[in-house]
Amino acid sequence: MVTTCNLQNGKSEKVNSTEFSLHQRFDFGANWLSFLNTLNEERLSEAVVSLQELLGVENLEGKSFLDIGSGSGLSSLAARRLGASVYSFDYDPKSVGCTQEVKNRYYPDDTDWYVEQGSVLDRDYLASLGSFDVVYSWGVLHHTGDMLEGLHNVTIALSDQGLLCVAIYNDQEITSGFWKRIKKMYCSSRVGKFLVSSLFLPLFVVQGIVIGCVKYRNPVGHFIHYKKKRGMSVYHDWIDWLGGYPFEVAKPEEIIRFYTTQGCVLENLITTNRLGCNQFVFRKVV
Ligand SMILES: C[S@@+](CC[C@H](N)C(=O)[O-])C[C@H]1O[C@@H](n2cnc3c(N)ncnc32)[C@H](O)[C@@H]1O
């Protein structure tokens, strides 16, 4: 059995373990490996600016930065560019390979950036890492299969007065339930993946063109400007969205209440009223 989070009443609801069985997990690492082909200085600059804005810092000189669920490794790279010493880990060995490849490309032989495999659901592992000035886990905890445990465990590695940054999918109630079923279907088999991709990718293209026309008066404007979102790629984010399973969601007030009771105060909040992530920066005060 594994647990899934019900933050509203602060309890964990037991669900059938087969729901999150290994073969039903999305292959995040494969998507990140493909993303690496698009990584360039422009994306890195966007990632650096996004990190500065989110954390409210000019640089991270002299700070330690723990990247939990590092994925492509781009946020770790941005933090290293800002001067932090970085510790990156991810559960998926291919994501770990990606982060390692990014390190090898930009900071070979650097002793201030360490990359390894690990799980945020492993309390002992988190405790073994020591404490960090910045604990960063963007778009990860809702994909672990036990978001409540993940939300708790990230604080284990947070130093006093440290910054905690998490991004969690917004709870859209019925709509989120619909997407959970789609993601489950995507991860269920090759046929599921094919059906979901063939149905939704063309819709996303059309939606992107409409947004481009309305927002930028340019049909490809949305695709061109997308990299401003943390240096990400629109295509890889579509795949991540369609396949990203396990999948849990939370309302902003639930996350704020959760960390407030853990001795943290909110320093920055970027919410969405749509399907993306709400982004939170807390400071540990006790
Ligand atoms: C949507 S990606 C986000 C990657 C990166 N943080 C970013 O912002 O681009 C989610 C990542 O969480 C990782 N992940 C899932 N479960 C995890 C766990 N239990 N511990 C650590 N990482 C995990 C996945 O392997 C994947 O690389």
Binding site membership of 88 for ligand 1 (Cβ less than 6 Å): no
Section 73-94 average pLDDT: 97
- Residue 170 is classified by DSSP as B
Rounded Cα distance between 22 and 30, Å, is 15
Enter the DSSP assignment of 215. Answer: I
Query: Does residue 2 contact residue 218 with C-beta atoms inside 8 Å?
Result: no
pLDDT tens-place string over residues 103-126: 999 999 999 999 999 999 999 999
| Strand pairing class (2-6; 11-15) | antiparallel
The percent of residues above 70 in pLDDT, for the chain, comes to: 92
pLDDT at 23: 57
Q: Please report, for residues 14, 121, 219, 254, 274, the alpha-carbon distance to residue 211 in angstroms, rounded to integers and kept in the order given.
A: 40, 38, 8, 31, 14
- Expressed in angstroms and rounded, the spacing between residue 119 Cα and the centre of ligand 1 is 9
Of 220 and 180, the one with more pLDDT: 180
2-172+244-284: CATH, from 3.20.20.370, 3.90.79.10, 3.40.50.10860, 3.40.50.150: 3.40.50.150
* 208 Cβ closer than 6 Å to some ligand 1 atom: no
Query: How far lies 120's CA from each of 42, 60, 123, 220, 276, in Å?
Result: 30, 23, 7, 38, 22
Question: Among 39-43, 78-82, 229-233, 259-263, where is mean pLDDT lowest?
Answer: 229-233
Output the CA 267–ligand 1 centroid distance in Å: 23
Residue 1 has pLDDT above 50, yes or no: no
280 CB under 6 A from ligand 1? no
The finding on whether 222 has its CB within 6 A of some atom of ligand 1 is: no
| Beta carbon of 120 within 6 Å of any ligand 1 atom | yes
Q: Is 145 in the pocket of ligand 1 (CB under 6 A)?
A: no
DSSP string, 171-209: --THHHHHHHHHHHHHHH-HHHHHHHHHHHHHHHHHHHH
Which residue of 20, 140, 187 sits with most ligand 1 atoms within 8 Å of its CB, as the best mutation to test the pocket? 140
pTM for this one? 0.91
119 CB within 6 A, ligand 1:
yes
Residue 64 β-bridge partners? 85
Distance (angstroms) between ligand 1 centre and the Cα of 69 equals: 4
Categorize the per-residue pLDDT at 15 as very low, low, confident or very high, splitting at 50, 70 and 90: very low
**Are the CB atoms for 98 and 88 separated by under 8 Å?**
no
CA–CA separation, 16 vs 20, rounded Å? 8
3-state DSSP: the chain helix, strand, coil percent, rounded to 5? 50, 20, 30
The domain limits of the chain are 2-172+244-284
Side chain identity at residue 265, one-letter code: V
Q: Please choose from 91, 99, 241 the residue to mutate so as to test ligand 1's pocket, defined by most ligand atoms within 8 A of CB.
A: 91
What is the whole-number distance in angstroms between the Cα of residue 213 and the centre of ligand 1?
A: 33
For a substitution probing ligand 1, which of 4, 72, 143 has the most ligand atoms within 8 Å of its CB? 143
Beta bridge partners of 163: 134, 283
Does ligand 1 have an atom closer than 6 angstroms to the CB of 117? no
Taking alpha carbons only, the member of 275, 3, 24, 34 closest to residue 141 is 3
Nearest CA to ligand 1 atom 25: 92
**Which uninterrupted H or E stretch holds 267?**
strand 264-270
| Residue 249 near residue 172 (C-beta atoms within 8 A) | yes
DSSP annotation of 219 reads T
What is the rounded distance in angstroms from the CA atom of residue 183 to the CA atom of residue 177? 10
In the DSSP assignment, the letter for residue 20 is G
Q: For residue 22, what pLDDT is reported?
A: 53
Task: Kindly report the number of other CB atoms within 10 A of residue 95's CB atom.
Answer: 26
Q: What does the pLDDT average to over 265-270? A: 97
The single-letter code of the amino acid at 102 is: V
For 134-190, the pLDDT digits (tens) are 999 999 999 999 999 999 999 999 999 999 999 999 999 999 999 999 999 999 999
Q: Whose CA is nearest to atom 27 of ligand 1?
A: 71
Nearest CA to ligand 1 atom 13: 69
Which pLDDT value is given to residue 232? Answer: 82
